[in-house]
Structure 1
Amino acid sequence: MEKVLHILQDGRFHSGEVIGKELGISRAAVWKVLQKAKEESGIAIHRVPGKGYRLANPLSLLDSSRLLPSLAELSWALSLRSQIDSTNAEALRLMAGRSRQPLVVLAEAQSNGRGRRGRHWVSPYGENLYFTLGCSVAGGFAQLAGLSLVVGIATLRALESEGLANGGLKWPNDIYSQGKKIAGILVEIAGDPADLCQVAIGIGVNVNMTESASSIDQEWTSLRLQLGRFIDRSALAIQLAQQLQRYLQRFLDRGFHAFKDEWEQAHLWQGEECLLSTPLTSIQGVVLGVDGQGGIRLRVDGREQVFCGGELSLRRIE
C-alpha cells in the first residue's frame, strides 16, 4: 500500500501503465492494489478514463531517507510505521528490556491514538504528525515534574520555525492558534518510580488536515489552515526532533525551573479568569503562572493556590 501511495502523493494523475511499471506488476493488477490501498488507508482515489488515477487531495508522506540521517545526527533511532495502534504504546514496547538509546516512533495513521484523560486522538492517514520520542531516564519519576510543559515549548518553537506566528500554550500541554487546538502532548512513564524509567513523549500535530472531523469534540485548526499552504511533514518531524533534543537536554540538567519564565511568556491565558476542572469539582481563579514544578498558580478568593495533576483541565471564562 505504501508504495502506491508514495507514487500518487503528489495529487497528479498517473496512468495505470506507469503505476504498474513502478510497482513491478501488470496493469490489470494495479486496480486491485489501488482498491486495497483505498480500503486500508481510507484515502479517496479517483480514476478518470484516459488520464489515470490520482488522490482526491495530495499527501506529504513521511520519508525515511530524510528522517534517518537527521535523527542519526542526534544519536536517535527511528521506527517508521504505516499504521499502528499508538506511537506511545509502540515506543514503550520497543523500550522494554532494550538499551537506553532514544528512539522516535512515527506513523502515517493510528487506530488507537491517545490523548490526555483517556481521550481518543483522531489520526487520519498521512495528514497529521503522530510522533513519539521514547527514552530511558535514570533517577525516577520525581525529576520529570514539568516535562510535558517543556515539551510544549519545544513543540511551539518547531511550529514557529514552520511559520506559525500566532501560536501559544494552554496549561498543561496543548498548543493553540487563534483560539483553536493545533497540537497536544501526552507523556507516559513506565519502569521503576525511583530509578530507571522509560518515558514516552507523544506529540500530535494537526498538519495538513482541512476537512471537518466529526469525532473531534473541540475546536481545532491545522498548520495548513493557519499558513495557507501545504506542509512537508518530514521537515516538520525533523525540526520537532531537533527542538526536543535541545530543550530536553537542558531540562534534564536543570529541571523545569529553568523554563518557567519562557513558558509563562507563551501562556495564552496568563492573568485571565479561568475555570480549573478536577474529577470532583471546579475552581475559578485568575491565572498567575506556574510554579517551579509546572503546577498552575491561581488566585482564588484573594489567595494563591497551586494545582497539579494529570486529571486537571483549564479553560478560560469568556
Structure 2
Amino acid sequence: MNDHWKRKRQILALLSSDHFTSGEAIASEIGLTRMAVNQHIDALSDYGLEVFSVKGKGYKLASPITLVDEQSLIGGIENRCFYFDEIDSTNSFMLNHFVDLKSGDICIAEYQSAGRGRRGRQWLSPYGNHLYASLFWRFETNASNLMGLSLVIACSIVKTLSEMNITGLGMKWPNDIYLDDKKLAGILIEVAKTETKQTELVIGFGINMSMSAAQGELIDQPWSDLASQGVPDKTQLLVSLHRNLKSDIQAFSNHGLAPFIPFWNAYDLFANKQVRLLMAPNEVFGLCRGIDEQGAVVIETNSEIKAYIGGEISLRGI
C-alpha cells in the first residue's frame, strides 16, 4: 500500500466513528498538518465518498464503509489475489495480464475509476462502499459451450449471500441479482482469448454493500444494498464467494448447466409470470418458463414454447 492510501485509510478509520472528529484530532492522531488533513478530506469526494463537515464539530462519513483486511484476504484465498485500493477496472487488469494467470486467480479493488457494466454501461464504483472483483478462468472447450456460465455465477453469488443469512434474494435472466426486487449485483464476463479447444475468460462482478444517498441518485434504476440487512464482513464474503465460485465453475465445466437449473428456478424472479422479451426491433410476449440447459430463457406464447439467448435481449415483467 502506498503512502497516499495509507494516509487516506487512517483518516477514513477516524471518520467512520458514530461521532464527528475534529481536524485537529485527526492531524494529531496520524501526524499530519491541519492543511494536509484538509487536502486529504477534500480529495475523498473524487472517490465517490461523501463527508459531512460541521463547523465546531469536525468531520464524519455520510455513510459507513467496509474495507478489506488485505492479510486475511490473501491468507484465505488459495489462488493469487491482487488487491488494490484504486484501479481503473478489475476486468481490465485481468485482461491485460491473462497470459500469466491461472484459473481461480482474482483481482479485488476498493475503487474503480472506469468500472464497466453490461452493454458498455458505467458501473459506479465509490471507494469502499461496495465489492468489486474479477476472476480468471481457463476452459478446455470453445466459447459456444459456455453459454450458461453467467447464470452459474449468479447462482454462486446468491448461494454465498444466502449462507450469510441475506434474505429476499432473486435472479433476473441472464445474470442480474436482486434484493427485495431491486438490483443488488451485476456480472460482466469478457473473453481474454478463445481458440478451437480453449477459452480464457475474465468474470467480473459487483455487489452493492452500502450505497450513499448521493451515489444512489446517480443510478438510473431501482437499486438495493446489503446495508438494509446489516453489512457482512467484506473479507469473509470474498473468501467464501471465491471458494463457491471455484467449486461451481468446476462443476459447470464437468456437468454443464443442468445441476444448477433447480437452484435458478428457486430464485427466478420471472418464473411463470407474464414477460416481455426485447430483441430490438422485435418483442416477444408470453409466460416465462425458466431456462434450458444451454442457458436460454424459455418463453411460452399462444402459439409455441421457444428458447431465446444472446445479443441485445432484456427481460421485463409486465
The SS at the match of 1:302 is coil
Superposition pairs for residues 16-165 of structure 1, below 5 Å? 16=23, 19-20=26-27, 23-27=30-34, 29-36=36-43, 38-47=44-53, 52-71=58-77, 75-95=78-98, 97-165=99-167
Any idea what the Cα deviations from partners look like across 1:98-150, whole Å, max 9, x if unmatched?
A: 14253221122222222222222222221111121122222221332200001
Q: Distance in 1 between matches of 2:250 and 2:18?
A: 40
The SS at the match of 1:277 is strand
The corresponding residue for 2:238 is 237
**Residue 42 of structure 1, CA deviation:** 3.5
- The 1:87–1:154 alpha-carbon spacing in structure 2 relative to 1, beyond 3 Å, is same
TM-score (norm 1): 0.88
Please say if residues 290 and 297 of structure 1, whose CA atoms lie closer than 8 Å, have aligned partners that are also in contact: yes
- The 1:113–1:286 alpha-carbon spacing in structure 2 relative to 1, beyond 3 Å, is same
The corresponding residue for 1:274 is 275
**Residue 251 of structure 1, CA deviation:** 1.0
- The 1:122–1:35 alpha-carbon spacing in structure 2 relative to 1, beyond 3 Å, is closer
TM-score (norm 2): 0.88
**Residue 154 of structure 1, CA deviation:** 0.6
Q: Distance in 2 between matches of 1:108 and 1:11?
A: 22
Superposition pairs for residues 3-14 of structure 1, below 5 Å? 3=9, 4-14=11-21
Superposition pairs for residues 285-296 of structure 1, below 5 Å? 285-296=286-297
**Residue 46 of structure 1, CA deviation:** 4.1
Please say if residues 60 and 127 of structure 1, whose CA atoms lie closer than 8 Å, have aligned partners that are also in contact: yes
Q: Distance in 1 between matches of 2:168 and 2:201?
A: 30
Q: Distance in 2 between matches of 1:266 and 1:16?
A: 48
The SS at the match of 1:83 is coil
**Residue 279 of structure 1, CA deviation:** 2.6
Aligned length: 310
Q: Identity rate of aligned residues, in percent?
A: 34
The corresponding residue for 2:285 is 284
Any idea what the Cα deviations from partners look like across 1:41-99, whole Å, max 9, x if unmatched?
A: 2323345577654323221112212211111xxx221122222222211221121x214
> 1:148 is matched by which residue type in structure 2?
S
Q: Distance in 2 between matches of 1:42 and 1:118?
A: 20
The corresponding residue for 2:304 is 303
The SS at the match of 1:286 is strand
2:171 to 169, 174, 181: 169
Gaps spanning 5+ residues in structure 1: where? none
Q: Distance in 1 between matches of 2:32 and 2:128?
A: 24
Gaps spanning 5+ residues in structure 2: where? none
- The 1:42–1:292 alpha-carbon spacing in structure 2 relative to 1, beyond 3 Å, is closer
